[in-house]
């Protein structure tokens, strides 16, 4: 993955690293990090990528927080990329969010943020089948078509939501904290 296509927001500190090597994006940080795809997306689309949570003795290795934002906009600012990586700073955005393995790998949640601080919980899992496995290369697919958003993992649908007020445009971002993650094969396609 070409690092020039991404905007990095992270909590300050010289221990945090985000870099691209061998067509893979690596996030290795003890702090909060969001990595935004710089191109705004709109309409009916499919977003796909592979994502691995690495747990192999590294200082930031922790099985948690495979998180993503999509169709994100800032109702108060045309420039979305103004934050410093602290999770609460994103509460004011309008977006969809899935947090896999959140809360120390005890929850997998789907939310819609309304741009006014409300983070509505749409669906949630707490069973082991929907939580993270260490060093597993997950294939994530997000399909957006005509107001319906589907989120699938390794070909299995986790979440589906028909939105009466769908978010039709915005930015996509990877999000994590205190972990080491490796992301590859990112692509966006039309879904017309």
Please write the tens of the pLDDT for every residue from 107-120: 999 999 999 999 99
SS3 letters for 47-93?
A: EEEEEEECCCCCCCCCCCCEEEEEEEECCCCCCCCCCCCCHHHHCCC
CA angle in degrees (0–180, nearest 5) for 38-41-47: 95
Report the alpha-carbon distance of residue 96 to residue 176 in Å, rounded.
15
Q: Does residue 29 surpass a pLDDT of 80?
A: yes
Instruction: Report the domain count for the chain.
Output: 1
**74: CATH:** 2.60.120.560
Quote the pLDDT of residue 14: 76
Q: Does residue 2 surpass a pLDDT of 80?
A: no
Single pTM value for the model? 0.96
End-to-end distance of the chain based on CA atoms, in angstroms? 25
Q: Does residue 59 surpass a pLDDT of 90?
A: yes
Please write the tens of the pLDDT for every residue from 146-178: 999 999 999 999 999 999 999 999 999 999 999
**Span 13-28, average pLDDT:** 91
Domain that holds residue 142: 3-190
């Amino acid at each position: 993955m070409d690092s020039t296509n991404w905007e990095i927001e992270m909590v300050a500190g010289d221990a945090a690293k985000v870099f691209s090597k061998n067509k893979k994006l690596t996030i290795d940080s003890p702090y909060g990090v969001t990595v935004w795809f710089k191109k705004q997306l709109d309409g009916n689309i499919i977003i796909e990528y592979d994502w691995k949570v690495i747990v192999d003795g590294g200082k930031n290795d922790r099985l948690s927080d495979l998180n993503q934002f999509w169709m994100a906009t800032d109702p108060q600012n045309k420039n979305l990329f103004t934050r410093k990586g602290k999770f609460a700073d994103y509460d004011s955005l309008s977006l969809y969010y899935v947090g896999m393995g959140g809360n120390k790998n005890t929850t997998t949640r789907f939310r819609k943020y309304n741009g006014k601080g409300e983070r509505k919980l749409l669906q949630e899992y707490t069973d082991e089948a929907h939580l993270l496995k260490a060093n597993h290369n997950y294939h994530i697919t997000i399909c957006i078509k005509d107001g319906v958003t589907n989120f699938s993992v390794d070909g299995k649908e986790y979440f589906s939501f028909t939105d009466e007020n769908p978010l039709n445009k915005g930015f996509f971002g990877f999000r994590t904290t205190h972990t080491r993650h490796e992301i590859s094969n990112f692509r966006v396609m039309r879904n017309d």
